[in-house]
Amino acid sequence: MHIIIIDDEQTNCRLLEIYVGKWGYHSISFTNSLDAYEYLKKMDEPAVVCIDWMMPSMSGLEVLSKIRSERPDFPFYFIVLTAKTGLESIIEALDAGADDFVTKPFDAKELRSRIGAGQRVVELEHKLIEQDKNLKRINRQLKESLEIIEQDVKAGRAIQFKLLPRNHKIINDIRFSHHLEPSLYLSGDFLDYYKIDEQYVGFYFLDVAGHGASSAFVTIFVKSFISNFISKNKKTSDNSIINPALIVTELNERILEAKVGKHLTLFIGAIDSLNSKLIFCNAGQFPFPVILSENRALYLEKKGFPVGLMPRAVYKNEEYELPRQCKLFFFSDGLLDIIPKSGLKEKQQYILDNIHNDADFYDRVVAKFSDLNAEELPDDITTLIITKGEEYAER
């Protein structure tokens, strides 16, 4: 570390040079305060500055005052050397920006101790400044990385929503409507519906554990997996697509093999529109879907293991005779978090009562969580409503 000596008397400079040299410091001396001021303005290393008060052209207090004003954060430690004594002189020097005050003639041991103290201070200040610069650099890099991630996530959200089927779509005179509200940019919820042939319409409703990017990637994996069955049916007339339990069984093994660290719940079904029958497999989906017909609402309570938890889990197909006119409601479990009831049974009954008594319940639910900010949503919330037996024009 440098010791800067500023004194208009050459003899005083030389004496200080000898002392600080013995103490192991490298010194730079100035007898002209203006030259010293210009040097300090450009200095890029921390330093202890021993400066005389009374000098021509610019006094020592003027030099350190200007430097403090122009370089307030630079680690200088100013020790004023002067023949002046008294409390008022000390206060004046400290107010000007001095860190210490030593009267002439000085005691060499005292000055050495004060320079040592100054060295510790400026080295600590320099270390803090470097740490601050490093933190700012890291924060800048982090901000840039976060901006890139945000752009990627926004792109991922756009892609995920593009993969959703067209809303209010009619297939084989059955109408499908949905709404998906992610708690983050990307959702762990997903759904799809598709025409199999003139007799069958397929659909599924899934909820991957958690939310955000990692869960969203699993939804894309599942869509691709089920799309392979749809494609196989169209190309080879393979009927596996109307065997939900088979699809779930194979998906369970694939998820476990992939070791994605995620599990999911899935309700997958095929509606036989000619025989008015629903063939389905429920792999842990909860709340259970609600069927509304003839002014009566009830849960389709069929349980099953979630996908991706148990090897060789057994899944089976269930069948349900659908009324000529009915509606099926699917809600992800995120809905339970915003229902104004305390217990689970009360929340389930609340859903049934409102679907049964309020024809606009579904629209009000969608409107409610659409108005919430993503930060207010504790989980992704997704809804699907399937309407059968009404007259719709093909769109």
pLDDT digit string (tens) for 317-338? 999 999 999 999 998 887 777 6
Asked whether residue 72 falls in the same domain as residue 184, the answer is no
**Mean pLDDT, range 52-79, rounded to an integer:** 92
Residue 155 domain-assigned?
Answer: no
d(CA 351, CA 371): 20
User: What pLDDT, on the 0 to 100 scale, is given for residue 71?
Assistant: 92
Residue 145 domain-assigned?
Answer: no
Residues paired with residue 270 on neighbouring β-strands, in sequence order: 202, 279
**Mean pLDDT, range 72-81, rounded to an integer:** 92
Instruction: State how beta strands 76-82 and 326-331 pair.
Output: unpaired
User: What pLDDT, on the 0 to 100 scale, is given for residue 377?
Assistant: 45
d(CA 304, CA 11): 95
User: What pLDDT, on the 0 to 100 scale, is given for residue 149?
Assistant: 65
Residue 151 domain-assigned?
Answer: no
Residue 75 domain-assigned?
Answer: yes
Q: Which two tokens stand for residue 120?
A: 């510790």
What's the domain count of the chain?
A: 2
- Tell whether the model's pLDDT for residue 199 goes beyond 60: yes
- Tell whether the model's pLDDT for residue 295 goes beyond 90: no
Q: Could you tell me if 111 and 82 are in contact, meaning their C-beta atoms sit under 8 angstroms apart?
A: no
Q: Which two tokens stand for residue 88?
A: 């008022």
User: What pLDDT, on the 0 to 100 scale, is given for residue 363?
Assistant: 64
Q: Could you tell me if 52 and 60 are in contact, meaning their C-beta atoms sit under 8 angstroms apart?
A: yes
Burial bucket for residue 72 (CB in 10 Å: 0-12, 13-18, 19+): exposed
Domain end call among 112, 132, 152: 132
pLDDT digits (tens, 9 = 90+) for 137-174: 988 888 888 777 667 667 667 777 788 999 999 999 99
Q: Which two tokens stand for residue 36?
A: 């010293």
Average pLDDT, the chain: 87
Asked whether residue 115 falls in the same domain as residue 240, the answer is no
Residue 288 domain-assigned?
Answer: yes
The model's pTM is: 0.64
Asked whether residue 126 falls in the same domain as residue 224, the answer is no
**Mean pLDDT, range 286-315, rounded to an integer:** 91
Percentage of the residues of the chain whose pLDDT score is greater than 90: 56
**Mean pLDDT, range 221-246, rounded to an integer:** 93
User: What pLDDT, on the 0 to 100 scale, is given for residue 394?
Assistant: 38
Window from 51-55, 266-270, 278-282 with minimum mean pLDDT: 51-55
Residue 112 domain-assigned?
Answer: yes
User: What pLDDT, on the 0 to 100 scale, is given for residue 372?
Assistant: 44
> What angle do the packed helices 60-70 and 87-96 form, to 10 degrees?
30
pLDDT digits (tens, 9 = 90+) for 5-55: 999 999 999 999 999 999 999 999 999 999 999 999 999 889 999 999 999
Asked whether residue 122 falls in the same domain as residue 202, the answer is no
Asked whether residue 330 falls in the same domain as residue 384, the answer is yes
Burial bucket for residue 92 (CB in 10 Å: 0-12, 13-18, 19+): middle
CATH number at residue 123: 3.40.50.2300
Residue 147 domain-assigned?
Answer: no
CATH number at residue 333: 3.60.40.10
More confident residue, 104 or 367: 104
Domain end call among 132, 153, 186: 132
Q: Residue 20 sits in which domain range?
A: 2-132
Instruction: State how beta strands 296-299 and 169-171 pair.
Output: unpaired
d(CA 97, CA 166): 71
Asked whether residue 116 falls in the same domain as residue 198, the answer is no
